[in-house]
């Protein structure tokens, strides 16, 4: 069997990029009989980006309800909250002790902060916390804890996966003694949707405030966001450059290939942007509409979600506890003299 694992940070409302890049492919993978899937809410990661407790709690509920509404079967998938697994921060510490600081210096998110600070002329590490700096180590602990073979993610996470492999290799080399503790995880990326653009054409992201929400605010909010997708000023009747428009890129992430080809021709033959947006919204709603009903029902019963997460934590810890025992021994914290 193949172990598949992925997580979503609970710092905001789930959006179309999370869905197309991570949730949808993960659900598809979890349905295969030879797959053992681990999906979780990365709430420790949320603390790095967000110091608003209410937002973290709300986001956790929204993301859990989204996974379940999208078809995650908690009987088959191990579905849990990161902070319910105390072995994860413990493993994170062990991994921190073998991770080169120089490796973390190269992390994109950290480097982006340093570059911004340098542009502003302030201290390079201004506003950078240890949480942000060691973010990739925590993510490596998430993945290595369950020895995941495949990690379905969007393109923005590739570097984190490479770092997880580096860290795993280093630990295996130092402590394995010929036997490997950790599998080297591989990214799994769907090229069609590896980076879903947002309203302004940049990567759809909470931090750019350019997202199309999945379920929150109802179909109305999704429609309103679709109508705000930025296009060029070509009028109905004028040929459009489909390939050059992110509206078309978003369309492709939800359509069958023949449907995309047809939409593309219509744009090239002068379909107006307003009408194109209506068609895109209808396409998205076809897929999300039925899920939205389940989502609303789940959001109305948070205790049900909590039960599911507690059951998931038990399953996850049944694996994490014995692994940590072996690791404590391997590094000398428990072994007899």
Choose between 87 and 142: whose C-beta lies nearer to ligand TYM.
Answer: 142
- The whole-angstrom distance between residue 132's C-alpha and the CA centroid of its chain comes to 17
State in angstroms the smallest separation of the CB of 262 from ligand TYM.
24
Binding residues among 1-60 for ligand TYM as defined by CB under 6 A:
5-9, 17-18, 21-22, 42, 45
Distance, in Å, from the CA atom of 20 to the CA atom of 13, rounded to the nearest integer, reads 15
Distance, in Å, from the CA atom of 114 to the CA atom of 124, rounded to the nearest integer, reads 5
Instruction: Give residue number: closest CB to ligand TYM.
Output: 21
Binding residues among 115-134 for ligand TYM as defined by CB under 6 A:
none
CB-based contact 229:196 (threshold 8 Å): no
CB-based contact 12:210 (threshold 8 Å): no
State yes or no: residue 214 binds ligand TYM (CB under 6 A): no
Tokens of 188: 């799994």
State in angstroms the smallest separation of the CB of 212 from ligand TYM.
10
Tokens of 190: 């769907």
State yes or no: residue 88 binds ligand TYM (CB under 6 A): no
Per DSSP, the three-state class of 62 is helix
List the one residue out of 316, 10, 310 whose CA is nearest residue 148: 316
Residues that contact ligand TYM, how many (by CB under 6 A): 26
State yes or no: residue 156 binds ligand TYM (CB under 6 A): yes
Name the one range near ligand TYM by CB under 6 A: 52-60, 126-134, 154-162, 320-328.
Answer: 154-162
Contacting ligand TYM (CB under 6 A), which of 65, 85, 163, 204? 204
Tokens of 160: 């984190």
Going by the DSSP 8-state scheme, the letter that residue 22 receives in this structure is I
Angstrom CA distances, 120 to 123, 124, 133, stand at 9, 9, 20
State yes or no: residue 72 binds ligand TYM (CB under 6 A): no
Choose between 79 and 271: whose C-beta lies nearer to ligand TYM.
Answer: 79
Choose between 19 and 271: whose C-beta lies nearer to ligand TYM.
Answer: 19
Under the rule (CB under 6 A), what is the footprint of ligand TYM? 5-9, 17-18, 21-22, 42, 45, 139, 142-143, 151, 153-154, 156-157, 160, 193, 195-196, 203-205
């Amino acid at each position: 069997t193949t172990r598949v694992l992925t997580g979503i940070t609970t710092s905001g409302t789930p959006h179309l990029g999370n869905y197309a890049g991570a949730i949808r492919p993960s659900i598809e993978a979890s349905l295969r009989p030879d797959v053992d899937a681990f999906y979780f809410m990365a709430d420790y990661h949320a603390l790095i980006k967000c110091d608003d407790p209410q937002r973290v709690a709300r986001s956790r509920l929204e993301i859990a309800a989204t996974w379940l509404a999208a078809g995650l079967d908690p009987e088959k998938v191990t579905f849990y909250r990161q902070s319910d697994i105390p072995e994860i921060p413990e493993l994170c510490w062990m991994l921190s002790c073998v991770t080169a600081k120089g490796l973390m210096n190269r992390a994109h998110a950290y480097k982006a902060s340093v570059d911004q600070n340098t542009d502003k002329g302030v201290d390079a590490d201004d506003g950078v916390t240890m949480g942000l700096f060691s973010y990739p180590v925590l993510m490596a602990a998430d993945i290595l804890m369950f020895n995941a073979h495949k990690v379905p993610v969007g393109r923005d996470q590739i570097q984190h996966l490479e770092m997880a492999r580096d860290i795993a290799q280093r630990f295996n080399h130092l402590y394995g003694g010929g036997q490997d503790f950790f599998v080297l995880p591989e990214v799994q990326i769907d090229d069609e949707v590896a980076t879903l653009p947002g309203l302004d054409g940049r990567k759809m992201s909470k931090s750019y405030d350019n997202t199309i929400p999945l379920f929150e605010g109802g179909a109305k909010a999704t429609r309103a966001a679709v109508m705000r997708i930025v296009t060029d000023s070509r009028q109905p009747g004028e040929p459009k450059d489909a390939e050059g428009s992110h509206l078309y890129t978003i369309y492709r992430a939800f359509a069958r290939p023949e449907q995309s080809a047809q939409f593309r021709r219509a744009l090239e033959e002068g379909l107006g942007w307003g009408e194109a947006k209506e068609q895109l919204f209808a396409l998205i709603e076809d897929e999300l509409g039925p899920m939205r009903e389940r989502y609303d029902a789940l959001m109305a019963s948070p205790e049900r979600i909590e039960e599911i997460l507690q059951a998931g934590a038990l399953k996850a810890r049944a694996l994490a506890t014995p692994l940590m025992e072996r690791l404590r021994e391997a590094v000398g914290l428990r072994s007899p003299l």
